[in-house]
Structure 1
């Protein structure tokens, strides 16, 4: 079965976080919005503009292989940095360096600090 990846649901900032009935909210992550799909064992990880992101986030693509066929997820690839006793924080800079790296360098970065895919 061949199907196309759905369009992403884009967020809209609001001045007051009150939700109308039937509305939903999500936190702002500091990463890269990515649509993930699995079809016949093939994983596709794409940006909102359709750019292939699997080579930039190889551990996310590798983990998505475990999802059932015909799965589509709209989420965000983020990179956590350890921050001592304060816990972990998300680093946009770390995710950006991964996205801008060649596949070989992205694999090195993923081995040191794997990305997490949040939905």
Structure 2
């Protein structure tokens, strides 16, 4: 959220986010769209339990997601260059821990990311 947004708009946006991540809301949204809910408690909501009972094939992707070993390729956004960019960020953080200055690490990271997205 940008700092120059009026405070009442920021507060309204935050209330909306808090509403949308509630398990019951996530379950309804997931059932309607087919997307995974962001709150794992949503899987215990009646609307999703009923959906999976009626269409057990929809559970395949849920089970695959839940049984996948976490890695940089499976955590967070998985589209386009995000996994590669995330890996470069980790490399830059490691280099700073090894003594590289933050400025040098950031400049190197910028170059690497530009190469990835171009």
Larger proportion of strand: 1
Q: Flag the structure with larger Rg.
A: 2
Q: Which of the five TM-score ranges fits, normalised by the shorter chain?
A: under 0.3
Q: Structure 1-normalised TM-score?
A: 0.23
Q: Is the helix fraction higher in 1 or 2?
A: 2
